[in-house]
């Protein structure tokens, strides 16, 4: 029997300093992160939600109208228990620019910021957003103005990109190719010897594909970045350690769909392998029924009975409504059953991972009241069920 | 060649995008099946390395090689043609590009070993995008007799399961993305050739969405971004609404269900007549379900209206409660065809 994920305990535990919501795209990570942040704030914590790509109306409801890379206080939070809620939307390019500026002298920084390769890297590197989200998390944690930071990870192609991005960027910057591009001075003589034949072939190929100017821009960029290599690596490593620390809790969010659960499964295994503190799985938007005692089979049979006994062409008759209600109920039960099976797939593969379930809501969440409902569903399932 | 009467006559490259979780790959696959009717040959391309197409068609992981995975939808005009699939990755596309244009496969392998591909994809995603879209446009233009303008095309249509809505503008706007990096040079020339196909009436970009707030917003944003980035040069295609749920009640009944004025006693009596009289609350519980249904229908209607304002042809695919298997894909393909998508 899978344990229930006790989010209330995690939110209330003062030792929890960071909650990371991860999962594949479209599963409700942002809403979950915002709901947990609000819940924490209204239970007395100084919470900050770091979000990457919120739905417009949700962002507006939290007062996030512009991308300004600074946490803003959210209005309308119940202050009775002394807590507060801040929220911010990540500006990835600005975060990257700030790192560059912090790690090198102004002249060199200006040179890097103007380089076309830097501009491409900072605005669209597959992984920059992930890396910058983690960087910002590190900064917010370091500022120590909040006692709980809830972060929503970017909608990556792979939900794991945010774990890999810092290392990937580090590996890339330390890579052999970069060293070659940065100039022979960086490459040991013996290495050059081995590589000589291949090297000229490679530069000629690169020139053919990219053109000489592109190669030159790339070299300039790499040489300029060279001074910051250490800085990047160190930061990536310290953020990684921060994620592993006991004050961090990862929650994996998934909807009861095959793709989302496969991704969640992969994620759980990966977090385990990286020794990251996994709190559990949030199974979002699961279809339940208040009339679950009426089975699919009986419901369908009854709908058929009504349809054969009555002339349902007259809309508005109770029989027509009842038949529709029964058909809809049957469909909902069937969907719920399928979702249950998919969820069991996950739980049987990962019996030790606690699970919290959140029922599908008929309407989208786009205000604090809606977030409060989700927070309650997440943290107090027994109250919400009654 | 029978020219079917569809909304997309003349379109040979169908780019399918959508927000994560909306069923973009499913729709791309169904569209490929629908286009491959009446003996037409269709290529379905995957570009994100997720092997989602292989999973969908229940076949082994796709290599960088065009491989038959299904037969198109049979119709009154005859049996379905072949559907082939191809998983394009930047590395394979680079090697392909070097071999095809420079006869440099060996150099390509050396570049891969040195991490050049990693370099290109890391430092300048624009470069890897141009290689990937380049492969799709090459397949679109390919003729049975290479180089001969009179020779028929190898593929009657190519369907690309493209990156999600948030990235589609940049992904397709290869020419501009690359020109920021390379003012002249071979990669620039290649990008311009690719852009010519993508910006021609042969290409259409379809957006997949569900009838929920965020996917709808992203679809509208994506359409606007495509228009803005490319100054209208890349033709928007259809909006494909996926996983729609039909309204089971009349508008009046829905209104009553939504505001709680539904005749619960009448419902209970009807249930009793059908042999279901378990307890007093059942009718109320079913009425609560109907209320949620009514709210959802209202939400869907609002979303539909918002989408319609975009002025694109709009197709609708139903939510299939049993999940997506091969049979379901053909069902969706038939629905697309019937609505004029293929």
- Would you tell me how many other CB atoms lie within 10 Å of the CB of residue B301? 14
Q: Within this chain, do residues B188 and B258 fall inside the same structural domain, yes or no? A: no
B200 part of a folded domain: yes
Chain A residues in contact with B182 (beta carbon < 8 A): 210-211, 213-214
CA-based nearest distance A243→chain B, Å:
24
For position A317, what pLDDT does the model report? 75
- Confidence tier at A198 by pLDDT (50, 70, 90): low
Q: Which residues of A308-334 are buried (b: 16+ CB within 10 A; e: fewer)?
A: eebebeeeebbbbbbbbbbbbbbbbbb
| Contact with chain A for residue B280, Cβ under 8 A | no
Give the angle B286-B290-B292 at the CA atoms, nearest 5°: 115
pLDDT top residue among A252 and A91: A252
Q: Within this chain, do residues B241 and B268 fall inside the same structural domain, yes or no? A: no
Nearest to B275 among A116, A305, A335 (CB): A305
- Distance, in Å, from the CA atom of A113 to the CA atom of A117, rounded to the nearest integer, reads 9
For position B178, what pLDDT does the model report? 78
A239, pLDDT greater than 90: no
Nearest to A124 among B50, B125, B183 (CB): B125
For the beta sheet containing B314-318, the strands, ordered from the edge strand earlier in sequence to the opposite edge, are B67-71, B82-87, B42-46, B157-161, B13-18, B203-209, B236-244, B314-318
Chain B residues in contact with A314 (beta carbon < 8 A): none
A180, pLDDT greater than 70: no
Q: pLDDT (tens digit, 9 = 90+) per residue, B143-202?
A: 999 888 899 999 999 999 999 888 898 889 887 777 777 777 777 888 899 999 999 999
**Choosing among B17, B18, B19, B21, which should be mutated to test the A contact, i.e. which has the most A CBs within 10 A?**
B21
Chain A residues in contact with B219 (beta carbon < 8 A): none
Portion 59-98 of A in contact with B at CB < 8 A: none
Q: Within this chain, do residues B157 and B306 fall inside the same structural domain, yes or no? A: yes
Query: How many domains, in total, are found in chain B?
Result: 2
Q: Within this chain, do residues B114 and B144 fall inside the same structural domain, yes or no? A: yes
B327 part of a folded domain: yes
A154, pLDDT greater than 80: no
For position A330, what pLDDT does the model report? 95
pLDDT top residue among A236 and A46: A46
| Contact criterion met (CB < 8 Å) for B123 and A120 | yes
CB B175 within 8 A of CB B192: yes
A197, pLDDT greater than 60: no
- Confidence tier at A47 by pLDDT (50, 70, 90): very high
| Contact with chain B for residue A214, Cβ under 8 A | yes
Nearest to A364 among B182, B212, B321 (CB): B212
| Contact with chain B for residue A121, Cβ under 8 A | yes
CA-based nearest distance B5→chain A, Å:
35
Q: Within this chain, do residues B137 and B75 fall inside the same structural domain, yes or no? A: yes
pLDDT top residue among B128 and A106: A106
CA-based nearest distance B253→chain A, Å:
6
- Confidence tier at A196 by pLDDT (50, 70, 90): low
Closest residue in B to A218 (Cα–Cα)? B123
Closest residue in B to A306 (Cα–Cα)? B274
B342 part of a folded domain: no
B7 part of a folded domain: no
Q: How many helices (H) and strands (E) does chain A have?
A: 17, 8
- Check the CA dihedral B57-B59-B65-B68 and report its sign: negative
Closest of B57, B115, B176 to residue A173, by C-alpha: B115
Domains defined for chain A, CATH in brackets: 7-174+227-289+341-385 (3.40.50.300), 296-338 (no CATH)
- Distance, in Å, from the CA atom of B242 to the CA atom of A42, rounded to the nearest integer, reads 38
Q: Within this chain, do residues B265 and B197 fall inside the same structural domain, yes or no? A: no
| Contact criterion met (CB < 8 Å) for B269 and A258 | no
| Contact with chain A for residue B208, Cβ under 8 A | no
- Distance, in Å, from the CA atom of B270 to the CA atom of A3, rounded to the nearest integer, reads 41
Query: Burial level of B15, CB count in 10 A (0-12/13-18/19+)?
Result: buried
| Contact with chain A for residue B244, Cβ under 8 A | no
A193, pLDDT greater than 50: no
Q: What are phi and psi of B14, to 5 degrees?
A: -100, 115
- Check the CA dihedral B165-B96-B98-B108 and report its sign: positive
Collapse the DSSP code of B4 into the 3-class scheme (helix H, G, I; strand E, B; otherwise coil) and give the result: coil
Closest of B170, B83, B96 to residue B135, by C-alpha: B96
Closest of B274, B250, B116 to residue A300, by C-alpha: B274
| Contact criterion met (CB < 8 Å) for A325 and B50 | no
For all residues of chain A together, what is the average pLDDT? 83
For position A194, what pLDDT does the model report? 47
| Contact with chain A for residue B107, Cβ under 8 A | yes
**What percent of chain B is modeled with pLDDT above 70?**
95
| Contact with chain B for residue A172, Cβ under 8 A | yes
For position B124, what pLDDT does the model report? 67
Q: Within this chain, do residues B285 and B186 fall inside the same structural domain, yes or no? A: no
Q: Within this chain, do residues B134 and B271 fall inside the same structural domain, yes or no? A: no
| Contact criterion met (CB < 8 Å) for A175 and B115 | yes
| Contact criterion met (CB < 8 Å) for A155 and B164 | yes
Across the range A151-157, mean pLDDT stands at 74
Chain B residues in contact with A57 (beta carbon < 8 A): 213
Q: Within this chain, do residues B150 and B277 fall inside the same structural domain, yes or no? A: no
- Report DSSP state, residue A17: -
B141 part of a folded domain: yes
- Distance, in Å, from the CA atom of A276 to the CA atom of A79, rounded to the nearest integer, reads 33
> How many A/B residue pairs have CB atoms within 8 Å?
226
- Confidence tier at A126 by pLDDT (50, 70, 90): low
For position B1, what pLDDT does the model report? 43
Q: pLDDT (tens digit, 9 = 90+) per residue, A212-225?
A: 777 777 777 777 77
Both structure tokens of A232: 């990047």
Q: pLDDT (tens digit, 9 = 90+) per residue, A106-119?
A: 988 898 888 887 88
For position A227, what pLDDT does the model report? 65
Q: Within this chain, do residues B101 and B129 fall inside the same structural domain, yes or no? A: yes
CA-based nearest distance B153→chain A, Å:
28
Closest of B70, B37, B67 to residue B56, by C-alpha: B70
Q: pLDDT (tens digit, 9 = 90+) per residue, A256-284?
A: 998 899 989 988 998 999 899 999 999 99
Interacting residues of B217 by C-beta distance below 8 A, sequence separation 6+: A55, A56
- Distance, in Å, from the CA atom of B129 to the CA atom of B117, rounded to the nearest integer, reads 12
B2 part of a folded domain: no
For position B117, what pLDDT does the model report? 67
For position B122, what pLDDT does the model report? 64
For all residues of chain B together, what is the average pLDDT? 89
Query: Burial level of A54, CB count in 10 A (0-12/13-18/19+)?
Result: buried
Q: Within this chain, do residues B102 and B128 fall inside the same structural domain, yes or no? A: yes
Q: pLDDT (tens digit, 9 = 90+) per residue, B201-223?
A: 999 999 999 999 889 999 999 99
Q: Within this chain, do residues B130 and B243 fall inside the same structural domain, yes or no? A: yes
- B51: domain range? 13-247+302-331
- Confidence tier at A185 by pLDDT (50, 70, 90): very low
B338 part of a folded domain: no
Strand partners, A220: none
Closest residue in A to B321 (Cα–Cα)? A335
A189, pLDDT greater than 70: no
| Contact criterion met (CB < 8 Å) for B114 and A258 | no
| Contact criterion met (CB < 8 Å) for B110 and A202 | yes
For position A230, what pLDDT does the model report? 65
B339 part of a folded domain: no
CATH number at residue B323: 3.40.50.300
Measure Cα distances from A269 to A33, A278, A346, B299 in Å: 22, 10, 12, 37
Strand partners, B43: B84, B158
For position B121, what pLDDT does the model report? 63
Portion 165-204 of B in contact with A at CB < 8 A: 166, 170, 177, 180-188
Query: Burial level of B304, CB count in 10 A (0-12/13-18/19+)?
Result: middle
């Amino acid at each position: 029997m899978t344990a229930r994920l006790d989010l209330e305990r995690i939110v209330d535990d003062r030792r929890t300093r960071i909650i990371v919501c991860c999962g594949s795209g479209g599963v409700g990570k942002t809403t979950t992160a915002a709901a947990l942040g609000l819940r924490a704030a209204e239970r007395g914590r100084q919470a900050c939600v770091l979000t990457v790509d919120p739905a417009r109306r949700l962002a507006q409801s939290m007062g996030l109208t512009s991308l300004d890379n600074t946490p803003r206080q959210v209005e309308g939070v119940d202050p009775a228990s002394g807590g507060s809620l801040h929220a911010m939307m990540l500006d990835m390019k600005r975060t990257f620019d700030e790192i560059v500026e912090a790690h090198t002298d102004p002249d060199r920084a200006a040179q890097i910021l103007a380089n076309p390769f830097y501009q491409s890297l900072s605005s669209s590197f597959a992984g920059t957003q992930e890396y910058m989200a983690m960087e910002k998390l590190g900064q917010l944690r370091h500022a120590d103005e909040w006692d709980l930071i809830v972060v929503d990870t970017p909608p990556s192609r792979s939900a794991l990109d945010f774990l890999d991005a810092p290392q990937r960027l580090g590996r890339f910057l330390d890579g052999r190719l970069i060293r070659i591009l940065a100039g022979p001075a960086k490459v040991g003589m013996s290495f050059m010897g081995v590589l000589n034949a291949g090297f000229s072939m490679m530069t000629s190929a690169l020139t053919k594909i990219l053109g000489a100017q592109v190669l030159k821009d790339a070299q300039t960029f790499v040489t300029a970045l060279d001074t910051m290599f250490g800085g990047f690596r160190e930061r990536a490593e310290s953020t990684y350690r921060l994620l592993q620390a006991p004050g961090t809790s990862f929650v994996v969010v998934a909807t009861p769909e095959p793709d989302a659960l496969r991704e969640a499964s992969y994620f759980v295994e990966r977090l385990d392998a990286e020794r990251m503190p996994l709190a559990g799985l949030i199974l979002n938007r699961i279809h339940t029924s208040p009339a679950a005692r009426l089975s699919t089979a009986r419901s369908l049979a009854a709908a058929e009975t009504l349809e054969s006994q009555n002339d349902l062409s007259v809309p508005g008759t109770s029989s027509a409504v009842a038949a529709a209600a029964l058909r809809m109920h049957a469909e909902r039960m069937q969907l719920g059953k399928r979702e249950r099976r998919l969820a069991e797939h996950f739980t049987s593969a990962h019996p030790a991972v606690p699970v919290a379930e959140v029922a599908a809501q008929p309407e989208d969440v786009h205000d604090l009241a809606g977030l409060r409902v989700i927070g309650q569903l997440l943290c107090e399932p027994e109250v919400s069920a009654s | 060649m029978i020219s079917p009467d569809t909304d997309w006559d003349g379109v040979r490259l169908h780019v399918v995008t959508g927000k994560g979780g909306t069923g973009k790959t499913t729709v791309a696959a169904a569209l490929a099946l629908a286009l491959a009717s009446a003996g037409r040959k269709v290529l379905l391309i995957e570009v994100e390395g997720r092997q989602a197409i292989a999973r969908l068609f229940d076949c082994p992981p796709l290599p960088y090689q065009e491989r038959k995975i299904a037969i198109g939808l049979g119709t009154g005009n005859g049996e379905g043609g072949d559907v082939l699939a191809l998983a394009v990755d930047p590395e394979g596309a680079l090697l392909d590009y070097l071999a095809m244009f420079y006869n440099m496969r060996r150099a390509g392998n050396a570049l891969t070993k040195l991490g050049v591909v990693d370099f290109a994809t890391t430092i300048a995603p624009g470069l890897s995008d141009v290689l990937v879209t380049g492969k799709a446009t090459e397949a679109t233009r390919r003729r049975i007799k290479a180089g001969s303008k009179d020779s028929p095309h190898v593929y009657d249509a190519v369907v690309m399961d493209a990156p999600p809505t948030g990235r589609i503008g940049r992904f397709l706007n290869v020419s501009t993305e690359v020109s920021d990096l390379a003012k002249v040079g071979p990669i620039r020339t290649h990008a311009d050739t690719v852009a010519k196909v993508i910006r021609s009436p042969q290409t259409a970009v379809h957006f997949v969405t569900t009838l929920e707030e965020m996917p709808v917003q992203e679809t509208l944003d994506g359409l606007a971004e495509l228009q803005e980035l490319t100054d209208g040069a890349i033709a928007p295609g259809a909006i494909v609404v996926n996983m729609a749920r039909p309204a089971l009640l009349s508008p009046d009944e829905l209104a009553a269900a939504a505001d709680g004025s539904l005749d619960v006693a009448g419902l209970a009596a009807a249930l009793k007549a059908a042999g279901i009289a378990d307890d007093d609350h059942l009718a109320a519980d079913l009425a609560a379900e109907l209320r949620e249904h009514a709210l959802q229908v209202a939400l869907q209607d609002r979303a539909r209206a918002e989408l319609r304002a975009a002025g694109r042809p709009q197709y609708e695919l139903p939510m299939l409660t049993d999940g997506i298997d091969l049979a379901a894909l053909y069902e969706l393909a038939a629905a697309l065809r019937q609505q004029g998508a293929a």
